[in-house]
Amino acid sequence: MKQIQVANRGEIALRVMRSARKMGIATVAVYSEADRTSPHVQFADEAVCLGPPPSNQSYLLGDKIIAEALRLGVDGIHPGYGFLSENSKFAQAVEKAGITFIGPKSHAIEVMGDKLAAKDTVKDFDVPMVPGVDHAITDVAEAKKVAVEIGFPILIKASAGGGGKGMRMVENVEEFEEQMDRAVSEAISAFGDGAVFIEKFVTSPRHIEIQVLADSHGNVVHLFERECSIQRRHQKVVEEAPSSVLSPELRARMGAAAVQVAKSCDYLGAGTVEFLIDDKHDFYFLEMNTRLQVEHPVSELITGVDLVEMQIRIARGEALPFTQEDLKITGHALELRVYAEDPLNNFLPSVGKLHRYRPPSGEGIRVDDGFTEGMNIPIYYDPMLAKLITYGETREAAMRMMIAAIEDYEIEGVATTLPFGKFVCQHEAFRSGNFDTNFVKKYYQPAMLEAAMQEEARVAAALSKALWLEQRHQLEMPDAGATDWWEQRR
Ligand code: MV4
């Protein structure tokens, strides 16, 4: 593999290109008219414009991406996450064009993209699943009977959904039929597929996912877990590895289950198996994500494995260079997603120009971003600006570094979720490790940030004043009037 095209933008396009370059592989960027000056375009050895900013006229144009790849003679296409990464037809078209898709085979993408097909594929592989039905509900009366048997509350899930999309909770038998009708019509309008199924609703679960790697020689390993329970409306906020609730014994059992899930669909490359854990520490398979995930860096830090390098090596047909026994957890990593959203205004996207952008740096700090100072944040795409990742010997150390790094992060021009991230990292429930997927709902109110942000603005102003006074002192300027000047400026 001499040249790879990255069919994505932003931080993940850069992340993929860095590993490719490290391996001596040339890179091709694709971009929309909104991303002409983006770092991923500048970093690449070559770049091609796909079209106007909207994704359906640029980053989602599979045929055009493949045509450009053929024209430039690339050997492989890496899809990143989002966009075309879990589109089985795209993966198939890439392979049909004689180009290597750096990801799983289209069969695995297709099976895992359909939640019922996924359950059906996994069911003979000794993987625990949430009690419920494992087929599309056609008979509402029969489904109601099953719901009564498993006990309320239950969840109705769309087979074509996933990641929290197309779910509906039903609290009692009286509302069952009405909610079922709604779920089906929502599934039809959102996915063009009305197939739904029901599961027992696991209250206050933790969301734990296992990173897996599978090569084309039959080797499958797991790279332990990521704890992703801290999320807001199915958008992850903080991820960490390892999880503070997994004993070595539970970790081994969940890892083995994830490997079984990968084997069930002949998985190839890097993938993630999602589980829920309940209060009794019983775990249940939810779904498998057939892509490199946003939060992959925390797994890289605790294992020392470059996951993108492994994806490329696997796509080239190489065997994994390590076995399960070789893999060990060292240290603790945290990742905070920094979004251009206003936490004081219901997390509304905050677009505009990055007047100032200075990420923190130093030992144990990794920032994966795709913007530089002076750039405009486009409205067309996901508002994630950066991932702030810290790594230390212990969870305590990683948390301490995270708070210091948040304080060092300078972003002006757009509102960001940094203050919200600081709130989370300072919260007693987060610090103790005793939290679940209800963390944000349970503990967060915007008023809490308002006070903290005002205090921060006050401290920043005082610091700025002190620095100004000191500077002026060094220049031996007279002291008089300093305060007046300061007050005027404010
Ligand atoms: C559940 C659940 C409780 N019980 N399934 C949300 C994302 C999608 N992958 C599945 N999800 C859930 N499925 C049963 N049977 C609770 C969730 C859920 C959730 C899961 C992980 C992280 C955050 C969540 C927030 C709300 C609901």
pTM beyond cutoff 0.85: yes
H helix or E strand, kind and range, residue 312: helix 307-315
Count of beta carbons in the 10 Å neighbourhood of residue 383: 21
H helix or E strand, kind and range, residue 397: helix 395-408
Spacing of C-alpha 272 from chain mean position: 11
Best residue among 276, 283, 435, 436 to mutate for probing ligand 1, ranked by most atoms within 8 Å of CB: 276
* Three-class SS state of 152: coil
Q: What is the CB < 6 Å shell around ligand 1?
A: 130, 155, 162-164, 199-202, 205, 207, 231, 234, 274, 276, 286-287, 437
Residue 376: phi and psi, rounded to 5, are: -90, 140
Contact 41, 17 (CB under 8 A): no
Ligand 1: centre distance to CA 462 (Å): 45
Q: By alpha-carbon position, which residue is closest to atom 23 of ligand 1?
A: 437
Ligand 1: centre distance to CA 333 (Å): 23
pLDDT given at position 481? 35
- Sequence-distant (≥ 6) Cβ neighbours of residue 95 within 8 angstroms: 101, 105, 106
Q: Give the residue among 84, 134, 20, 97 at the shortest CA–CA distance from 290.
A: 84
pLDDT of 421-452, one tens digit each?
999 999 999 999 999 999 999 999 988 888 77
Best residue among 155, 159, 227, 233 to mutate for probing ligand 1, ranked by most atoms within 8 Å of CB: 155
Q: Give the residue among 58, 41, 60 at the shortest CA–CA distance from 50.
A: 58
Tokens read off for 263: 């084997």
pLDDT given at position 474? 62
Which is catalytic among the residues 287, 295, 335, 341?
287
pLDDT given at position 64? 98
Tokens 């992340």 identify what position?
15
- The sign of the dihedral angle between the CA atoms of 379, 354, 405, 347 is negative
Examine residue 343 and say whether the peptide bond preceding it is cis (omega within 30 degrees of 0). no
pLDDT given at position 473? 63
Ligand 1: centre distance to CA 164 (Å): 6
Best residue among 156, 159, 167, 436 to mutate for probing ligand 1, ranked by most atoms within 8 Å of CB: 167
pLDDT of 263-278, one tens digit each?
999 999 999 999 999 9
Residue 79: phi and psi, rounded to 5, are: -90, -5
Q: By alpha-carbon position, which residue is closest to atom 24 of ligand 1?
A: 437
pLDDT given at position 20? 98
pLDDT given at position 480? 36
Examine residue 153 and say whether the peptide bond preceding it is cis (omega within 30 degrees of 0). yes
Catalytic site includes residue 287: yes
Q: By alpha-carbon position, which residue is closest to atom 20 of ligand 1?
A: 207
Ligand 1: centre distance to CA 163 (Å): 8
Low-confidence residues of the chain: pLDDT under 70: 471-490
pLDDT given at position 484? 36
pLDDT given at position 479? 39
Ligand 1: centre distance to CA 88 (Å): 24
Beta bridge partner(s), residue 270: 213
Residue 48: phi and psi, rounded to 5, are: -125, 135
Q: What is the b/e burial string over 122-160, where b = at least 16 CB atoms within 10 angstroms of the residue's CB?
A: beeeebeebebbeeebeeeeebbebbeeeebebbbbbbb
Contact 270, 101 (CB under 8 A): no
Tokens read off for 294: 């946003």
pLDDT given at position 477? 47
**Maximum distance among all alpha carbons in the chain?**
86
